[in-house]
């Protein structure tokens, strides 16, 4: 990663390994990764909950909320023991909106429930807020990160009510952030200090016709990504970064070039986008079918531990970094005059 100019990574804790027995915490699975990041000079943004938790916990129970708060407190203390007052970047729950939809409404992800998305979202918000309180009480230099997917949905004006329905659906992408900040459902306890950094997750399938087909780039209905970034910035005025993006197979390099160009446009328009996070950095087995997903920068490990790099994406990253450096140099020169 360092050879390609990368100094930051996202990584998730594995709660089921950390708390194999309720109330008993073991951070041995985290310790080597903290040490490796420290030794290599890599800043890690840690997810407390990506999409999983110990089997003995039920996300719909009050105990789950308390347990997440306890995990956050234990992690904070472990961090201090390893890193002292070094800054910590922590995302209490990754993609609250998507997890509540996929696991609470559609039943194709943990906890495989249906029709309980709103209830699950409330639990995830409560848990996040408990975690934030614990982290802030223990760590002086902690930054709270909230990664959420951004979308665009278009209604058909020929269908009565479809445009309004699409817009309401589209605006739901802001619910989790609004809840955390106390702008929506303030009884949940959200407040202005509940997050410091907005993470925007965006893929090529994040735009679609209302309950219909994907809207692809080139379609007049497609909304340029920089406009979505602008909207998020205008709504929250918080530092932000692209927390997830990527594509598969031969589309990887071209997609990264598109995202980089859109981020540059957003920056030129005054939106402080601080980085782009590739997901994933390694090829991996498919979630549902174990297929070989070729969407990373490096492939599966060979028997000797080496990994083949996907050269087109690596070269595009280097190209975009050169463009970024030149732009920064030009802006610096303008400032001097």
Backbone angles phi, psi at 217, to 5 degrees: -55, 140
CB environment 251-289: b (16+ within 10 A), e (fewer): ebbebbbbbbebbbbbbeeebebeebbbeebebbeeeee
Q: What is the pLDDT of residue 337?
A: 43
Q: How confident is the model at residue 157 (pLDDT cuts 50, 70, 90)?
A: very high
Q: What is the pLDDT of residue 1?
A: 87
Q: What is the pLDDT of residue 335?
A: 53
Taking CA atoms, 191 is separated from 42, 96, 306, in Å, by 30, 17, 46
Per-residue tokens: 271? 């939106």
The residue extents of the domains of the chain are 2-336
Per-residue tokens: 329? 């140099």
**pLDDT surpassing 70 at residue 181:** yes
Please tell me the distance from the alpha carbon of residue 93 to that of residue 190, in angstroms, as a whole number: 15
Q: How much is the average pLDDT of 163-169?
A: 97
Per-residue tokens: 71? 């995990």
**pLDDT surpassing 60 at residue 55:** yes
**Could you report the per-residue pLDDT of 10-35, keeping only the tens digit for each?**
999 999 999 999 999 999 999 999 99
Specify the pairing of strand 142-149 against strand 152-154.
unpaired
Per-residue tokens: 277? 């996070």
Residue 106 DSSP one-character state: B
CATH superfamily of 2-336: Glycosidases (3.20.20.80)
- Count helices and strands in the chain by DSSP H and E runs: 10, 13
Taking CA atoms, 206 is separated from 70, 169, 202, 249, 307, in Å, by 34, 13, 6, 18, 30
Q: What is the pLDDT of residue 89?
A: 98
**Positive or negative torsion for Cα 156, 161, 167, 168:** negative
Are 318 and 4 within 8 A, CB to CB?
yes
Q: What is the pLDDT of residue 148?
A: 98
Specify the pairing of strand 88-93 against strand 43-49.
parallel
CA-nearest of 230, 241, 238 to 194 is 238
Q: How confident is the model at residue 3 (pLDDT cuts 50, 70, 90)?
A: confident
Please tell me the distance from the alpha carbon of residue 32 to that of residue 14, in angstroms, as a whole number: 13
**pLDDT surpassing 80 at residue 103:** yes
User: What are the DSSP calls for 182-205, one per residue?
Assistant: TSS-GGG---TTS-SEEEEE--TT
Are 117 and 168 within 8 A, CB to CB?
no
Residue 179 DSSP one-character state: H
Percent of the chain with pLDDT over 90: 93
**Could you report the per-residue pLDDT of 185-212, keeping only the tens digit for each?**
999 999 999 999 999 999 999 999 999 9
**pLDDT surpassing 90 at residue 77:** yes
**Could you report the per-residue pLDDT of 203-252, keeping only the tens digit for each?**
999 999 999 999 999 999 999 999 999 999 999 999 999 999 999 999 99
Q: Which residue has the tokens 């309180």?
A: 133
Q: What is the mean pLDDT of the chain?
A: 95
**pLDDT surpassing 50 at residue 315:** yes
Specify the pairing of strand 197-201 against strand 240-245.
parallel
List the 273-278 sheet strands across, edge first: 8-12, 43-49, 88-93, 142-149, 197-201, 240-245, 273-278
Backbone angles phi, psi at 6, to 5 degrees: -90, 130
Q: What is the pLDDT of residue 334?
A: 61
């Amino acid at each position: 990663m360092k050879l390609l100019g990368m100094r930051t990574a996202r990584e998730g804790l594995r709660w089921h390994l950390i708390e194999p027995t309720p109330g008993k915490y073991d951070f041995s699975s985290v310790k080597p990764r903290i040490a490796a990041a420290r030794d290599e000079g890599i800043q890690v943004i840690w997810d407390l909950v990506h999409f999983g938790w110990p089997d003995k916990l039920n996300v719909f129970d009050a105990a789950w909320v308390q347990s997440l708060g306890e995990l956050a407190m234990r992690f904070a203390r472990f961090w201090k023991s390893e890193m002292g007052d070094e800054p910590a970047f922590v995302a209490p729950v990754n993609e609250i909106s998507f997890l509540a939809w996929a696991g609470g409404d559609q039943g194709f992800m943990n906890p495989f429930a249906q029709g309980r998305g709103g209830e699950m979202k409330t639990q995830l918000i409560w848990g996040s807020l408990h975690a934030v309180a614990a982290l802030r009480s223990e760590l002086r230099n902690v930054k709270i990160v909230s990664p959420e997917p951004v979308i665009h949905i278009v209604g058909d004006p020929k269908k009565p009510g479809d445009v309004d329905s699409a817009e309401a659906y589209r605006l739901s992408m802001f619910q989790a952030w609004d809840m955390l900040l106390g702008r929506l459902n303030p009884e949940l306890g959200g407040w202005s200090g509940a997050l410091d950094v907005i993470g925007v997750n965006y893929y090529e399938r994040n735009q679609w016709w209302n309950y219909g087909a994907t809207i692809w780039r080139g379609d007049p209905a497609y909304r340029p990504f920089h406009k979505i970034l602008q909207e998020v910035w205008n709504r929250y005025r918080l530092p932000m970064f692209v927390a997830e993006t990527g594509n598969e197979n031969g589309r990887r390099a071209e997609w990264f070039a598109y995202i980089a160009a859109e981020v540059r446009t957003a920056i030129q328009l005054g939106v402080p986008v601080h980085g782009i996070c590739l997901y994933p950095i390694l090829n991996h087995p498919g979630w549902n079918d174990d297929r070989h997903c070729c969407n990373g920068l490096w492939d599966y490990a060979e028997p000797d531990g080496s990994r083949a790099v996907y050269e087109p994406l690596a070269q595009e990253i280097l190209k975009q970094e050169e463009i970024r450096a030149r732009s920064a140099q030009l802006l610096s020169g303008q400032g001097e005059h």
